[in-house]
Amino acid sequence: MKTKGCNQRRACALAGIDPRLYLRTAKRRLDTELRTRINKLASERRRFGYGRLHILLKREGWQVNWKKLYRLYPEEGLTVRKHSGRKRVVGTRTRMAIPQGPNQR
């Protein structure tokens, strides 16, 4: 395809392949500078998640989409400890015994 200069659909038609089956290589950037900055900010502020880091990066002048940060955050091995849920009562509750006379508990 690249040497002949034709597009993917035309080349697949000539080869008899469905174009949806032909996989192109991903052209995703490495973003090494952004990853190092995210790691540095996350090590300084351990309790900040990707949303708060997005705000800090925006203040520094980085133009980064929050969805990209959402993807990079776990890829770099950064996680914030999640709060545990509310502890619930185990079993059934019973009423308190009412004292029948004086000086009884």
Domain ranges of the chain: 28-79
Residue 24 has pLDDT above 80, yes or no: no
Q: Which of 23-37, 61-75, 83-97 has the lowest mean pLDDT?
A: 83-97
pLDDT at residue 25 in the model: 76
CA 10 to chain centre: 38
User: Nearest-CA neighbor of 2 among 30, 25, 29?
Assistant: 25
Element housing 71 (H / E): helix 66-75
- What is the number of residues in the chain? 105
pLDDT at residue 1 in the model: 64
- Read off the pLDDT of each residue in 2-27 and give the average, rounded to a whole number: 82
Give the Cα separation of 50 and 66 in Å (integer).
8
